[in-house]
Amino acid sequence: MTLLTQKIAIIDLGTNTFHLLVAERTSGKFNIVYEEKLPAKIGAGGINQGLITAEAIERAISVLKSYRQTVDDMGITEVLAFGTSAIRSAKNREEVVAKIAAATGFSVKVISGDEEASYIYKGVRAAVSLGHQKSLIVDIGGGSVEFIIANKSEVFWKQSFEIGGQRLLEQFQKHDPILPDEVVALHAYLAAQLQPLLVALKEQQPKTLVGSSGTFDTLSEIHCCRNGIVFEPMPEIPLTLQAIEEIYEELLLKNRAERLSIPGMIELRVDMIVVACALLDFLLKSHSFEKVRVSSYSLKEGVLQELSTQF
């Protein structure tokens, strides 16, 4: 990637949410000057069939037209747009990318799961002081989940799995609230799919779980609301292992409307948070972590970090 201008826009076309970040370079350093996230739900209704539906394409283009207006109003000519799990696994990905380009002028680069994991690591490392000890970084997206075992200077193991929240939601959560049998089936599925991760955890023995954005942002906000902590959007935000367990146990008993009434919950997250937390529950039952930390930085900030190294 080569940056030609002082101001840049980065768009992460996630399976559930499209994120826009605008940064400006001053004195050789990038400063984030604007952020926005909007639901596009491009995986809904077709992700497990490897298809982005016509309705999903319309939603995607609608959100991206809004972002086009924003970047044009800000006078930004350099836009980097990244397609992740839902697009990369879609049989009609070329059609989707072509329609987006025709309608918005955005050229979407579809990245691999391995590239996605690398950007996430760089983003998290910029937000959280990882230190020398190994941590397990987890980014739960709508289409894929990235796991990275790393410290501040080295990645020891990483892998992207196509087991994101939208996939799990459509495959396992047939009732609301979710049924105990559905949770059992989901855990059995994860045990089979995540064998490479379980082996890596045993070999590498990371002691800290580092959550990246998304579900972890919402868990942090709920935790803060419950404990009188003022929630401020910072690179690192508060959460505890006990809070994850307590919130998950509550979510298991609530339907959508009840979940939405939880202080700190946002509508963007309310549908997928149960299966996302079931994944976390599986993880915490599979390996002993001493603590959890949360990075509000993820893929788009990782792209920004990579651009920063060019100067």
Do 43 and 185 belong to one domain?
no
How sure is the predictor about 119, in pLDDT bands with cuts at 50, 70 and 90? very high
**Are 299 and 143 within 8 A, CB to CB?**
no
pLDDT for 244 equals 98
pLDDT at 1 over 70: no
Closest residue by Cα to residue 136 from 248, 288, 243, 296: 288
Asked whether residue 2 is domain-assigned, the answer is: no
Asked whether residue 123 is domain-assigned, the answer is: no
pLDDT at 310 over 90: no
Q: HSE-up of 135 (CA within 13 Å, CB side)?
A: 24
Asked whether residue 117 is domain-assigned, the answer is: no
**Are 178 and 170 within 8 A, CB to CB?**
no
Q: How many other CB atoms are found less than 10 A from the CB of residue 23?
A: 24
Q: What is the average pLDDT across 3-15?
A: 86
Distance of CA 29 to the CA centre of its chain: 25
Do 271 and 147 belong to one domain?
yes
Do 188 and 78 belong to one domain?
no
In this structure, what CATH number is given to the domain that contains residue 61?
3.30.420.40
Asked whether residue 163 is domain-assigned, the answer is: yes
Q: What is the average pLDDT across 205-230?
A: 96
Q: Is the dihedral of CA 249, 252, 253, 254 positive or negative?
A: positive
Asked whether residue 305 is domain-assigned, the answer is: no
Q: Domain total for the chain?
A: 2
pLDDT at 40 over 80: yes
Do 136 and 85 belong to one domain?
no
pLDDT for 102 equals 98
Do 205 and 261 belong to one domain?
yes
Determine the residue type at 67. Answer: Y
Do 134 and 180 belong to one domain?
yes
pLDDT at 89 over 80: yes
In this structure, what CATH number is given to the domain that contains residue 264?
3.30.420.150
pLDDT > 90 fraction of the chain, expressed in percent and rounded:
94
Asked whether residue 285 is domain-assigned, the answer is: yes
The neighbouring-strand residues paired with 150 are: 135, 155
Determine the residue type at 99. Answer: K
In terms of pLDDT, which residue wins out, 206 or 30? Answer: 206
Q: Which of 130-139, 230-239, 300-309 has the highest mean pLDDT?
A: 130-139
Over residues 99-112, the pLDDT tens digits come to 999 999 999 999 99
SS3 letters across the chain: CCCCCCEEEEEEECCCEEEEEEEEEECCEEEEEEEEEEECCCCCCCHHHCCCCHHHHHHHHHHHHHHHHHHHHCCCCCEEEEECHHHHCCCCHHHHHHHHHHHHCCCEEECCHHHHHHHHHHHHHHHCCCCCCCEEEEEECCCCEEEEEECCCCEEEEEEECCCHHHHHHHHCCCCCCCHHHHHHHHHHHHHHCHHHHHHHHHHCCCEEEEECCHHHHHHHHHHHHCCCCCCCCCEECCCHHHHHHHHHHHCCCCHHHHHCCCCCCHHHHCCHHHHHHHHHHHHHHCCCCEEEEECCCHHHHHHHHHHCCC
Asked whether residue 116 is domain-assigned, the answer is: no
Domain enclosing residue 106, as ranges:
7-111
Do 50 and 148 belong to one domain?
no
pLDDT at 3 over 70: no
Residue at which a domain ends, from 111, 142, 164: 111
Tokens 């299966």: give the residue. 275
Separation CA 125–CA 153 (nearest Å): 9
Separation CA 3–CA 79 (nearest Å): 10
How sure is the predictor about 233, in pLDDT bands with cuts at 50, 70 and 90? confident
pLDDT for 18 equals 97
Do 36 and 134 belong to one domain?
no
- The residue count of the chain comes to 311
How far CA 252 is from CA of 87, 149, 164, 274, in Å, comes to: 30, 29, 18, 7
Do 170 and 285 belong to one domain?
yes
Over residues 45-72, the pLDDT tens digits come to 999 999 999 999 999 999 999 999 999 9
Do 90 and 160 belong to one domain?
no
Global confidence as pTM: 0.96
Do 80 and 180 belong to one domain?
no
Do 72 and 35 belong to one domain?
yes
Residue at which a domain ends, from 86, 111, 136: 111
Q: What is the average pLDDT across 170-180?
A: 98
**Residue 31: exposed, middle, or buried by beta-carbon count in 10 A (0-12, 13-18, 19+)?**
exposed
Asked whether residue 307 is domain-assigned, the answer is: no
How far CA 69 is from CA of 12, 106, 184, 228, 307, in Å, comes to: 17, 12, 46, 38, 24
Residue at which a domain ends, from 51, 81, 111: 111
